Amino acid sequence: MSNEGEATRRAVLGDAHVDREVPEFSAPFYEYVTESAWGRVWSRPGLDRRTRCCLTIALLAAMRCEEELAMHVAAAVRAGVTPAEIQEVLLHTTVYAGAPAGNAGFAVAHRVLAELGLVR
């Protein structure tokens, strides 16, 4: 597994997420994602981490990937993205992905941000 991918994944998602137990059946998936997404894409110098976090929020909201969206909203906060910036990303996403995707994205983000004590 890629050391760079592992380091980037830990930096973005946090040790608690990365260290959670993964079912043996899913291990090949996590190895692939760590190598390809985290080691080859997230580690590239072309975009800063905040920008990658914002893009990821927009894409996951547009695709209605709510579990992954929650994880990446928390990661974005860790990277310094503010609740107001997440709100703008989701509003922009709503224009291009539609109201149902935006509505779901706002609900997920609100839940995560409230759990983090950043919004009411």
pLDDT digit string (tens) for 60-72? 999 999 999 999 9
Residues 20, 36, single domain; the answer is yes
Residues 14 and 37 in one domain: yes
Are 56 and 95 found together in one domain?
A: yes
With 80 as the cut, is the pLDDT of residue 1 above it? Answer: no
Per-residue pLDDT tens over the stretch 28-76:
999 999 999 999 999 999 999 999 999 999 999 999 999 999 999 999 9
Is 90 within 8 Å of 105 (Cβ atoms)? yes
* CA angle at 58 for the pair 68 and 40, rounded to the nearest 5°: 70
Residues 55 and 101 in one domain: yes
Q: What's the whole-number average pLDDT of the chain?
A: 96
Structural domains in the chain (count): 2
CATH at residue 87 = 1.20.1290.10
List, in order, residues 6 or more apart from 13 with CB less than 8 Å away: 71, 75
- The rounded distance, in Å, linking the Cα atoms of 76 and 29 is 23
Q: Is the residue at 10 inside a domain?
A: yes
Do residue 24 and residue 75 come from a single domain? no
Are 111 and 68 members of one domain? yes
Host domain of residue 11: 3-41
**58 and 8 together in one domain:** no
Q: Is position 91 within any domain?
A: yes
111 and 60 together in one domain = yes
The predicted model scores a pTM of 0.93
User: Does residue 120 lie within any of the structural domains?
Assistant: no
Tokens 């190598």, residue located: 35
39 burial type by CB count under 10 A (0-12 exposed, 13-18 middle, 19+ buried): buried
Task: Say what the alpha-carbon torsion angle 61, 16, 32, 70 is, to the nearest 10 degrees.
Answer: -10
What's the pLDDT tens digit per position in 90-113? 999 999 999 999 999 999 999 999
Alpha-carbon separation of residue 35 from 5, 8, 108, 118 (angstroms):
5, 10, 27, 32
Is pLDDT of 2 > 80?
no
Shared domain for 84 and 110, answered yes or no, is yes
